[in-house]
Structure 1
Amino acid sequence: MNADRVWHAIDQQRLGLATLLDGLSDDEWRQPSLCAGWTVREVAAHLTLQQLGPAAVAGMMLRWRGTLERTIADAARRKAATRTTSELVAEIRDAAGDHRHTVGVTRLETLTDALVHGQDIAIPLGRELAMPPEVAAVAATRVLTMRFPPPLPAARKVAGFRLAATDTDWSAGAGPPVRGPMAALLLACTGRPVALSQLTGDGVAKLAAALG
């Protein structure tokens, strides 16, 4: 998938998520997301921090919280606390067409964030947010092959399985077979077991144990 198609997919995810967020109640904004310890509001705030330049990244690092994950979470929570819900929605919507990515990552990490964090919000609220299989396949390939930024812990856990999509031409790995929709496979590759019930194959039980 070339750069233009990747950015188009990111734009579509941002617009779709903005529409979803527009319809949430105050209580839904406070609900837990699929990210442990993060509310829907905090995940939405995190998704407004995808075009950080050198100065903004340096400023975030000055508030170091011991690990990169804690530092990113702190930035998202501070942003969530200083913006109204309508401001967060507007920032996500306005980011569509802004084809920059945060310093230190690539557009493929921006794509993965848009896809996966959109589901982190939608799934626990019982909402649907479309994830095209061919786009999810690009993100999953990046997750499983990236060396920098450091790969996600979940990428190592799924490395011992043969993953194969049933709705697009994609497969990866070697080992006990796991098959299913590409969106469910991407969620597994990023450490989210929520869609394991959609997967089949001899490796599903072992994959569920690996993901905890």
Structure 2
Amino acid sequence: MGVNWAQVERRAMVEAMRREGPDAPTLCTGWATRDLAVHLLLRERRPDAAAGMFLPPLGAWTGRVTRSYAARDYDDLLDDVESGPPWFSLFALPDKYLNLAEMFVHHEDVLRGGADPTGPWTPRELAPGLSAALERPLKMMGRMTMGKSPARVTLRTPDGRDLLTVGSGEPVTVVGTVGELLLFAFGRAPVDVAFLGEPAAVALLSMARRSL
């Protein structure tokens, strides 16, 4: 069956969250590590509350459930996050596929939480199997987050493989490892990537919103 890299990243993310504590910054604007833990639990265990993130009429209910989770002991929250989606969750059976990008990106949100978004970053070295597994969500999510990009973006690995081309406008090639390209596609910073293209097109791409 192979390695479930979503579970590997989940465990590593929780370990980092325990090490950093409940009030550490993350790359998710306005969220500390406790807020991130609550988000993950609502996503996997409380679809009734998670829906309020997209449906304003449910916003009050989402806020109430969020506050109840946030008031819990931090270690208890992390125990639930680490245990994964319960059997009744929409994410339980397809965990290996639907949660890999989520766990990887949020793991990096914790690891890079205190970093200067405009500064350089030396990424961790990923296992080859994890890098390979991340290619699928990169191609899928990149089309969603950069489909309206103001540049014609090509995501390229350092060994010259083009994984995705999307958007319209002047061509810009973004070069980086699969993990860094995925983080770039999600609008995270800092990331370790290089740009090939006209400076004006690179600037437009850098300023464009990249998220779901």
Length-normalised TM-score, structure 1: 0.69
Q: How many residues align?
A: 192
Q: Does 1:41 align with 2:34?
A: yes
Q: Does 1:114 align with 2:103?
A: yes
| 1:156 to partner: Cα distance | 2.9
| 1:67 to partner: Cα distance | 7.9
The partner residue of 2:193 within 164, 179, 198 is: 198
2:80, 2:64 → 1: CA distance?
16
| 1:206 to partner: Cα distance | 3.8
Q: 1:42 to 1:59 in 2, by over 3 A?
A: closer
Q: Flag the structure with higher strand content.
A: 2
1:72, 1:206 → 2: CA distance?
38
Q: Which SS does the other structure have where 1:33 is aligned?
A: coil
Cα pair 1:122 1:129 within 8 Å, conserved = no
State the match for 2:174 in structure 1: 178
| 1:157 to partner: Cα distance | 2.5
Length-normalised TM-score, structure 2: 0.69
Q: Does 1:66 align with 2:56?
A: yes
2:139, 2:64 → 1: CA distance?
28
Segment of structure 1 superposing worse, 170-179 or 12-21: 170-179
Aligned Cα root-mean-square deviation (Å): 3.8
Cα pair 1:164 1:172 within 8 Å, conserved = yes
Q: Does 1:93 align with 2:85?
A: no
Cα pair 2:155 2:165 within 8 Å, conserved = yes
Identity of aligned pairs, percent? Answer: 18
User: Which runs of 5 or more structure 1 residues have no equivalent in the other structure?
Assistant: 146-150
State the match for 1:51 in structure 2: 44
| 1:185 to partner: Cα distance | 1.0
State the match for 1:148 in structure 2: none
State the match for 2:119 in structure 1: none
User: Deviation digits for residues 13-42 of structure 1, max 9, x if unmatched?
Assistant: 1111122122224xxx22332112222211
